[in-house]
Structure 1
Amino acid sequence: MLIVTLVTLLAACSQGPRGTYSDSAQLLRYTFEADGKASVSLLGQVQQARYVREGDTVTVHVPGSEGEPVAFTVNEDGSLQGPMGVRLEQMKP
């Protein structure tokens, strides 16, 4: 019983973000799916991506991009803190 509980808790903790997150100006949007897929939209240009969550870090990899993966820290309120002061909050449906 203890093992089942621990496995369930670990699975819940490792889940990545779900839904669409945006900056305050809504110019940058990240949409996260349950299967590790994501889409990144900047000024109307959309790119498909993949993400992984390890602890309180979500790392987004955009295939074919020349840049490094983008790492976000998951804040206590569920928002994502990224590079250069970018803060993404989950959009309401």
Structure 2
Amino acid sequence: MKAFSFVLSILCAVIVAGCGSGLEGTYASDQNGFAVASYTFKSNGKVISKLLSMEQELDYERDGKEIKLSSPAAPGVSMVMTIIDENTISGPMGIRLNKVK
């Protein structure tokens, strides 16, 4: 019975870990050495969006290769980004964002 409980607890931990977004770090556009836009993803479903000198915190959800960004200030409105690979995201208007940290 103890072995069953141990296996069950490990299985639950793996399932919970798999439910995370799996997306963390900062992704930024590089326009001749100048980061025009950057997005810092946190494991808690929040992302800090910086565009030129403006910064805002948004919510995000990952669904496969899609990342859906939304703001509590604009219910029902969202922006979808696409994960190209583990180091690259296709952002709004086709902007390519590369992982920086």
**Structure 2, unpaired ranges of 5+:** 1-6
Q: CA deviation at 1:78?
A: 3.0
Look at both structures and tell me which one has the larger radius of gyration over its CA atoms.
2
Residue 64 (1) aligns with residue 70 (2): no
Matches within 5 A, 1:1-93: 4=11, 8=14, 11-12=17-18, 15-25=21-31, 26-65=35-74, 68-92=77-101
Number of residues paired by the alignment? 91
Alpha carbons of structure 1 residues 13 and 88: separation in structure 2 relative to 1, 3 Å: farther
Confirm or deny: 8 A CA contact 1:58 1:71 kept in the other structure. Answer: yes
Output the aligned Cα RMSD. Answer: 2.8
The CA deviation string for residues 40-73 of structure 1, in whole angstroms up to 9 with x for no partner, is: 1111110110100011111111232499311111
Confirm or deny: 8 A CA contact 2:83 2:90 kept in the other structure. Answer: yes
Distance in structure 1 (CA, Å) of the matches to 2:99 and 2:38: 10
**Structure 1, unpaired ranges of 5+:** none
The TM-score with structure 2 as length reference comes to 0.71
Sequence identity (%): 31
Alpha carbons of structure 1 residues 63 and 13: separation in structure 2 relative to 1, 3 Å: closer
